[in-house]
């Protein structure tokens, strides 16, 4: 608090928002430390469950009473998603109330099952690699012309790498458990120096679109790496160095009437853990697919929800307790995001 012209009492500093005259404030019965948002139930990895309309679509009702007479002014196309903010029962039927305060029958939609994939915290610049195809061979020995047994490992299996071998023009990577995997079968992070705006203790993010990998750094040291899905052909994620300009716990992303007739429309409520860094391009969680390690998006950088939360919690500016979104300020700039 401080005295100053224009206020008959004292000016009160409001975090990241400036000053408010004390005469404009009233005491609150709430405790001074608000609940950190969002507070997720055990086992839930997105701020709200989300549900997709079935292939035939679903009527959307402004009021529950409209459902009784089948009066709907809006239709949720197949594959469009709403956030399930609340579950209610009306006339013996279960309904979901959406982020926009509308209602759909639970029987007309199905709940999303987000990927549980999670990246890896890094120590001492260790070498990692993830499989990204539905099935990848892990050999029990180096395939040097003799027959070698192998096992098939699923997509998004992580390996710690210890050595590199060249056999007949093919590069194999040796893993910490004594297996051998083709280098071309893995997505691998590359550790690089930070861009100029980064301070020695700043957390920043490097997005490698060629490998579909994100690495988080603190200054010069990598601290976390994971798979991503960047923009597909025609929607490539723009390369460059940016700063986060907005941070939201959730946001709606939609293009219901694309200009290109060959482009598929989409509508997604409560996309989680959103960090906008280049106009409408963001790092964010994706609850509608699990193909991390392959290009997939409309230009944003998709992360598995657990990874998106990890990135969101460490990106600047910090989200004050009780807040749902924040904009950076000159004194508290957004984290650097480099896309290459």
Kindly report, residue by residue over 263-285, the tens digit of the pLDDT. 889 999 999 999 999 999 999 99
pLDDT at 50: 97
Q: For residue range 214-241, list pLDDT tens digits in order.
A: 999 999 999 999 999 999 999 999 999 9
pLDDT tens digits, residue range 139-168? Answer: 999 988 788 999 999 999 999 999 999 999
pLDDT band at 294 (very low <50, low <70, confident <90, very high): very high
pLDDT score for 16: 46
What mean pLDDT is predicted for residues 210-216? 98
pLDDT of residue 100: 87
Pairing of strands 203-208, 336-339: parallel
Q: Looking at the chain, list the stretches that DSSP marks H as alpha helix, in order from N- to C-terminal side.
A: 64-68, 305-314
pLDDT category of residue 34 using cuts at 50, 70 and 90: very low
Q: What is the pTM of this model?
A: 0.87
pLDDT in tens, 166-175: 999 999 999 9
**Where is 27: in which H helix or E strand?**
none
Q: Are 324 and 99 in contact (CB under 8 A)?
A: no
User: Is residue 74 within a helix (H) or strand (E), and if so which, with residue range?
Assistant: strand 74-76
CA 189 to the chain's CA centroid: 18
């Amino acid at each position: 608090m401080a005295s100053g012209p224009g206020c008959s009492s004292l000016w009160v500093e409001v975090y990241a928002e400036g000053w408010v005259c004390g005469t404009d404030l009233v005491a609150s019965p709430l405790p001074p430390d608000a609940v950190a948002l969002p507070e997720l139930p055990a086992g839930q990895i997105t701020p709200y469950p989300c549900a997709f309309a079935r292939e035939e679509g679903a009527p959307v009702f402004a009021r529950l009473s409209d459902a009784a007479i089948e009066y709907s002014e809006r239709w949720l196309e197949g594959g469009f998603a709403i956030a399930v903010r609340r579950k209610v029962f009306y006339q013996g039927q279960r309904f979901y109330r959406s982020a926009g305060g509308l209602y759909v029958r639970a029987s007309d939609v199905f709940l999303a099952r987000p990927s549980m994939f999670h990246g890896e915290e890094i120590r001492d610049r260790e070498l990692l690699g993830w499989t990204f195809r539905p099935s990848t061979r892990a050999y029990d020995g180096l395939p040097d012309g003799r027959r070698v047994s192998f096992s098939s490992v699923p997509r998004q299996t992580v390996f710690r790498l210890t050595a590199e071998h060249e056999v007949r023009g093919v590069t194999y990577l040796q893993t910490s458990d004594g297996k051998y995997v083709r280098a071309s079968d893995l997505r691998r992070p590359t550790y690089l120096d930070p861009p100029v705006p980064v301070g020695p203790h700043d957390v920043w993010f490097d997005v490698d679109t060629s490998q579909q990998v994100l690495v988080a750094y603190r200054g010069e040291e990598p601290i976390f790496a994971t798979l991503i899905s960047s923009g597909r052909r025609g929607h490539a994620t723009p390369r460059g160095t940016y700063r986060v300009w907005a941070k939201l716990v959730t946001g709606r992303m939609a293009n219901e009437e694309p200009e290109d007739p060959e482009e598929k429309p989409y509508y997604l409520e409560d996309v989680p853990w959103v960090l906008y860094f280049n106009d409408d391009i963001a790092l964010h969680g994706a609850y509608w697919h699990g193909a991390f390690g392959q290009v997939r998006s409309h230009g944003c950088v998709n992360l598995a929800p657990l990874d998106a939360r990890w990135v969101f919690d460490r990106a600047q500016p910090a989200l004050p307790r009780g807040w749902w979104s924040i904009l950076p300020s000159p004194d508290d700039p957004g984290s650097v995001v480099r896309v290459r």
